[in-house]
């Protein structure tokens, strides 16, 4: 560890370790939630992936539900997904989805697919998805029926993620991504700038 | 019950009851598998929905896994989904998906979304989905890249199902279906007859 020069703003090494551990736990939970149904994920699986013990997760986050409630935001995913000018947004979104799946095994946007149909957890995920992804895309669009078009553009993207991340069962090869972007981007773009 | 006129081909009333009960159990399992992750579904939930006791399910099907193995075919779903001439198949598929969700709460095709990523059950579902849905659609298409185009057409359809069946959390109103078909069918059809 480097020297702590300004102790009143920089955390102590112990505090930094705790923060790094919490971040690792959140990252592990986020990873698993994009790949498995809520009920399929055990605290032990999160702990194994984060390299910590299950009791440490309980100490930091209380229980599985309170832990998962912490990783239900789509804000940073939408930042990355929508980081392109409108006239090139379709290709960017398609490439982003396929690259996430190729490099990380799943795109975090697909957490919405595993949102439980009943219960508070699913309701929170759905509300976040709407405001943080669909509504945010809607605000970028011009012309009639912007809300519906945003919804359908996101639908095409979720379908791509489900097909190549779940239904096929084999990950997209990096070399296949360009061809898929060429084929599928016009489908998405048609809803963004009709 | 009506009289049994040909006992050697028509089942006895008791046999008929057993068959009807088994069918009700399979229907209930199928219904739940299109809406929930495998691990979220209890034998009791299947039993409650079928109007039978959990031990009766065990008697007929052994256990939850062997029961679910019985409802993993997409054959009849694909029969209905693909029942239109190629030049009108896109609108038919979109309307079929939205009607299923509106009338039954979910389309059975969405069982693929909940296929567990690991384990035999997910592998069977994925293999069935490929041969019974995607490959069967591929065989209907003419022109280059038929396999890829079928895959992308199915992707757009799965995305529609995820958006309106899972992500939005409210069912599509029957009166909204025509407008959605008009908007979305060209997206699907573009892959079927480019």
Question: Are both B103 and B180 inside the same structural domain?
Answer: yes
Q: Supply the DSSP string of B38-74, one letter for each residue.
A: GGG--HHHHHHHHTS-HHHHHHHHSSHHHHHHTT---
Question: Are both A109 and A161 inside the same structural domain?
Answer: yes
d(CA B11, CA A143): 63
Question: Are both B92 and B171 inside the same structural domain?
Answer: yes
Question: Are both A154 and A119 inside the same structural domain?
Answer: yes
Question: Are both A91 and A187 inside the same structural domain?
Answer: yes
Choose the closest CB to B114 out of A37, A112, A148. Answer: A37
d(CA A136, CA A132): 6
Choose the closest CB to B40 out of A116, A154, A184. Answer: A116
- d(CA B85, nearest CA chain A) in Å: 22
Question: Are both A108 and A35 inside the same structural domain?
Answer: no
Asked if residue A8 is part of any domain, the answer here is no
Asked if residue A1 is part of any domain, the answer here is no
pLDDT tens profile B94-131: 999 999 988 887 888 998 988 877 777 788 899 999 99
Q: Which CATH number characterizes residue B23's domain?
A: 1.10.10.60
Residues of A in contact with B40 (CB under 8 A): 37-39, 116
Question: Are both A54 and A91 inside the same structural domain?
Answer: no
d(CA B147, CA B192): 10
Question: Are both A88 and A169 inside the same structural domain?
Answer: yes
Question: Are both A118 and A55 inside the same structural domain?
Answer: no
Residues of A in contact with B113 (CB under 8 A): 113, 162, 166-167
- With bands split at pLDDT 50, 70 and 90, how would you rate the model's confidence at B13? low
Q: Which of B71, B93, B108 is the last residue of a domain?
A: B71
Asked if residue B11 is part of any domain, the answer here is no
Interface ipTM = 0.82
Indicate the burial class of A84 (C-beta count within 10 angstroms; 0-12, 13-18, 19 or more). middle
Q: Which CATH number characterizes residue B156's domain?
A: 1.10.357.10
Q: What is the pLDDT of residue A7?
A: 44
pLDDT tens profile A59-114: 999 988 888 888 888 998 999 999 999 999 999 999 999 999 888 878 889 989 88
Question: Are both B67 and B83 inside the same structural domain?
Answer: no
- With bands split at pLDDT 50, 70 and 90, how would you rate the model's confidence at B12? low
B1 pLDDT exceeds 70?
A: no
Which of B103, B87, B110 minimizes the C-alpha distance to B159?
B110
Asked if residue A3 is part of any domain, the answer here is no
A117 pLDDT exceeds 90?
A: no
Residues of A in contact with B78 (CB under 8 A): none
Nearest CA in chain A to B122: A169
Q: Where are the alpha helices (DSSP H) in chain A?
A: 13-33, 43-50, 54-61, 64-69, 75-81, 89-104, 120-129, 135-140, 146-162, 177-192
Range of the domain at A47: 18-71
d(CA B116, CA A40): 9
């Amino acid at each position: 560890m480097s020297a702590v020069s300004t102790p009143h703003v920089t955390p102590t090494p112990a505090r930094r370790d705790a923060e790094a551990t919490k971040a690792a736990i959140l990252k592990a939970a986020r990873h698993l939630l994009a790949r498995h149904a809520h009920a399929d994920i055990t605290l032990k699986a999160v702990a194994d992936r984060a390299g910590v013990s299950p009791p440490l997760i309980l100490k930091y986050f209380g229980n599985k539900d309170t832990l998962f409630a912490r990783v239900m935001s789509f804000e940073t995913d939408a930042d990355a997904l929508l980081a392109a000018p409108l006239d090139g947004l379709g290709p960017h979104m398609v490439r982003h989805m396929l690259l996430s799946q190729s490099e990380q095994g799943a795109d975090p946007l697909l957490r919405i697919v595993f949102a439980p149909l009943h219960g508070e957890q699913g309701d929170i995920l759905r509300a976040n998805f709407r405001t943080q992804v669909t509504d945010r895309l809607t605000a970028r669009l011009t012309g009639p029926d912007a809300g519906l078009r945003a919804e359908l553009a996101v639908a095409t993207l979720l379908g791509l993620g489900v097909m190549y991340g779940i239904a096929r069962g084999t990950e997209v090869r990096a070399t296949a991504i360009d061809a898929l972007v060429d084929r599928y981007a016009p489908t998405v773009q048609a809803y963004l700038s009709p």
